[in-house]
């Protein structure tokens, strides 16, 4: 038996020291970037917002908390907290996973995303095709021409909109959800791409009705009517609570100024 014992002792320096459960947990925390996640949560969500709101004495307490949260301290706290969740066997399972080649591939977002995308190649091709059709019939396309309509100035829901509709045949509901008297302020401006836009801010009651209009017509266009013409059909991406909207208008500077003047005069009544 002695030769076997001697051989085992000789192998110890080669095999190295086995990691403790705490060391394995530290490796898990590092590999999963849990330190950064928790640090961002504490500092961004709590410490930074509080700095300008506390009294002088409480600000000192906050600074002391901030200074105490070193990386070493955070590791210890995370280690302690996670140890109450995972058993020793589960820690071993997690540790073996995060040091495996499989996790190395899993933790590379670009590689992982590319692999997932390959399984959906046919779906993405179909979606791209449908998206191109939407762009072809977009109500905000460059060749949009004002559409005559027997409606007063205001914002309307569209009754018969489909992605492939002839824009000259859109049908509006009878009554405007928001009329020009609901406008508090309107002005011409330019967006980041240099397009002329209309910035509109609504009064309180108008903003509430506009929210309902956008909520009921999410992912659909609404019609903006000025001087018995539909001048824009902006597609609603999400319900708008703020009462503020920016609309791209592909008209001449003179035409946009006339729209601003008409809506501005109505809001002053």
Where in the chain are the domains? Answer: 18-108, 147-267
CATH of the domain spanning 147-267, picked from 3.30.1360.200, 3.50.50.100, 3.40.309.10, 1.10.260.40:
3.30.1360.200
CA pair distance 98, 257, nearest whole angstrom: 62
CA pair distance 45, 48, nearest whole angstrom: 7
**Which pLDDT value is given to residue 163?**
67
**Which pLDDT value is given to residue 164?**
64
Q: Which are the contacts of 250, defined by CB distance < 8 A and separation ≥ 6?
A: 142, 143, 144, 195, 196
% the chain with pLDDT above 90: 33
Q: Quick count: other Cβ atoms within 10 Å of Cβ 213?
A: 20
Model pLDDT for residues 175-205, shown as the tens digit of each residue: 999 999 999 999 988 877 777 888 999 999 9
State which of 33-42, 111-120, 158-167 shows the largest mean pLDDT.
33-42
Residue at token pair 């905000």: 140
- Output Rg (C-alpha) for the chain, integer angstroms: 31
Q: What is the pTM of this model?
A: 0.48
Question: Strand, helix or coil at 200?
Answer: strand
């Amino acid at each position: 038996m002695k030769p076997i014992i001697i051989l085992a002792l000789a192998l110890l320096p080669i095999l190295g020291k086995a990691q403790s459960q705490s060391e394995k947990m530290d490796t898990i925390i590092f590999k999963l970037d849990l330190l950064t996640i928790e640090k961002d949560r504490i500092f961004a969500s709590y410490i930074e917002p509080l700095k300008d709101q506390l009294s002088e004495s409480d600000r000192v307490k906050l600074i002391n908390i901030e200074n105490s949260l070193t990386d070493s301290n955070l590791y210890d706290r995370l280690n302690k907290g996670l140890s109450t969740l995972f058993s020793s066997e589960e820690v071993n399972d997690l540790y073996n996973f995060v040091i495996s080649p499989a996790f190395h591939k899993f933790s590379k977002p670009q590689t992982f995303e590319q692999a997932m995308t390959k399984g959906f190649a046919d779906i993405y091709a179909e979606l791209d095709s449908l998206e191109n059709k939407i762009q072809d019939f977009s109500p905000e396309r460059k060749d949009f021409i004002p559409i005559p309509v027997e409606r007063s100035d205001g914002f309307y829901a569209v009754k018969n909109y489909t992605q492939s509709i002839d824009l000259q045949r859109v049908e509006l509901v009878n009554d405007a959800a928001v009329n020009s008297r609901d406008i508090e302020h309107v002005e011409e401006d330019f967006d980041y791409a240099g397009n002329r836009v209309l910035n509109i801010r609504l009064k309180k009651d108008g903003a509430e009705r506009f929210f309902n209009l956008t909520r009921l017509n999410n992912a659909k266009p609404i019609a903006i009517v000025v001087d018995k013409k539909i001048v824009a059909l902006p597609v609603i991406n999400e319900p708008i609570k703020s009462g503020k909207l920016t609309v791209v208008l592909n008209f001449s500077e003179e035409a946009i100024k006339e729209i601003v003047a008409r809506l501005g005069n109505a809001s002053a009544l």
